[in-house]
Amino acid sequence: MDSQTDLKQERRKQILDAAEKVFTQRGFNKARMDDIVAESGLSKGALYWYYKSKDEIILALMDRFFAGEMQAGEELISTEGDARQQLEVFFEAAFKDVRRFEERMSLGYEFFSLAARTEEVRDAIRGYYRRYQAILSQIIQQGIDSGEFISIDPDDAATAAISILEGMALMWFIDPELLDWDRIGDLPTRIFLQGIMKREL
């Protein structure tokens, strides 16, 4: 029972790993099941033993993709420090993630374009962002309570913060030169923070 379950997990991982690689390189539509078969080292029969269809693989991959992206964010909430420091850490970690997931970014945009036509995908992405927003909103609320930040709707400010992150990721994806991390550094973070911090008059 146990080693059987392990095998199942192992095989599913094996298939999703292969699918991730193939889908990233060729996109959902150009990728053939036979590519995934070849990449996974399994057979077509095995592949269809574990997943009923290509769509099922895509959906399973999506779950894994956004769950993975989420982890970094979720862990952050326990960070020490005042709201400003927490946001700084958050942004910094997020930027690092963007660079770390470089190759996987195109997969993200595959999901976005799928989202337009597939409710299931849209809902998954939505859930992901809402959880993200909740975390940031909480931090910002702290900052408002402690008098660090100006009086502002924390949900909206959180949405704005995520927008900045996602926008920068997009820009970097399209034109890495325009957005040289070493040069631009934490500029957007600084702009955002200065934008919401209380001024000392």
Q: Provide the binding-site residues for a second copy, judged by CB under 8 A.
A: 25-30, 105-106, 109-110, 112-117, 122, 125-126, 129-130, 133, 152-153, 156-157, 159-160, 162-168, 170-171, 173-175, 178-179, 183-184, 187-188, 190-196, 199-201
Among 6, 38, 53, 92, binds DNA (CB under 7 A): 53
CA nearest to 132, candidates 165, 85, 103, 172: 165
Residue with tokens 């809902």: 123
Q: Which is nearer to a second copy, 80 or 182 (CB)?
A: 182
End-to-end CA distance of the chain: 68
Distances in whole angstroms, Cα of residue 28 to Cα of each of 25, 32, 37, 61: 9, 8, 15, 11
Q: Which is nearer to DNA, 42 or 72 (CB)?
A: 42
Are 186 and 87 contacting, i.e. CB atoms less than 8 angstroms apart? no
Q: How far is the CB of 178 from DNA (least distance, A)?
A: 33
Half-sphere exposure (Cβ direction) of 156: Cα atoms closer than 13 Å: 5
Q: How far is the CB of 150 from a second copy (least distance, A)?
A: 9
Footprint on this chain of DNA (rule: CB under 7 A)? 4, 7-8, 11, 30-34, 41-46, 48-50, 52-55
